[in-house]
Each structure stands twice: as C-alpha cells, then as structure tokens.
Amino acid sequence: MRFKDRTRTAMVLTGCLAALATVPSAANATPGSGVSGTVLAQGVSEGTLKLKAKGRTDVVVRTITIAPGGSTGWHSHAGQLLAVVKSGTLTRTLDDCSVEVTPAGAAFVEPSGPRHRHIGRNLGTEPVVLYVTYLLPKGSPLSNDADAPPCAGR
C-alpha cells in the first residue's frame, strides 16, 4: 500500500512539473512594437478612489483650463468625475461651503447629483489645468448649472 501511495505522489508531482514547464515565463514574453503613449497628467489621491457608473455610460476625457481669477460657476454633474490637477492650484467650494484646495499633482473624485453642487476657482497667478474623466449617464451634459447654496452669500 505504501508503494502505491509513493507512486501516486510521484506521478502527481511529475504531472505538476510537466504542466509548469509548458507555462510561458516572463523571459519568453514578446515585447510590444508600434505602441507609444504619453502621460497627460499624473496625480495622487489622498484617499480611496471609488468610481461607479450605472447602466450605459458616456466616458469623456477632457482638458479644462481656468485662467487666473476665473471660475467654473456653481454647477453639478449627473455622473462622477475623476480629475487630476496638472498645473496651478484649484480651489473648490462645496455645497456645504467647505473649501478644498487641490494643488498640481493631486487627484480627486467629484460625486454626482444636484446635492453635490460646487464651484471651482483659480485664486492663483497661473492657469489651472485639469485633466478630467467624466462617467456620465448616456446622453447627459458635462455639467448642469446650479444656484449658489444659501451659505455662499454669508
């Protein structure tokens, strides 16, 4: 009985080694050709990024430039946005009138819906350049104008 167990174990090990021998290794990987890429912007998120899209989704990638002293106006989005600040410093005032300052090299997610209205401002002396990926319900506009919240008048 012991001989059969050893034989069976040896056969299983031999089979495993044979199977591993047929798996291509990294040394056998083929290099790509005719492919190039350009990093448009790179940012680091201070927290966990959670993106979700329901149903058919328009995915739009856009560059936005805000001149010194410029602003986006109060608005909201029907879907989430992932933004990277390429240059300058973006100052956003949120629906509760809290302020978030996002420097170049940082990334953030803007939540969706009218209760997440906000305004983006460039309070600096150089243009703010953003690279933004929109995840919008199919056919939605990039943004929806919104009234300033009551706290903004204080």
pTM: 0.75
CA distances from 11 to 2, 18, 20, 21, 146 (A): 14, 10, 14, 15, 71
Average pLDDT in the chain: 86
Residue 24 lies in a domain: no
Residue 40 lies in a domain: no
Q: What confidence score (pLDDT) does residue 36 get? A: 83
Find the CATH number of the domain harbouring 90: 2.60.120.10
Number of domain units in the chain:
1
Least confident span in 12-16, 21-25, 29-33: 12-16
Stretch 78-89: mean pLDDT, rounded? 97
**Domain interval for residue 107:** 57-153
Q: What confidence score (pLDDT) does residue 142 get? A: 97
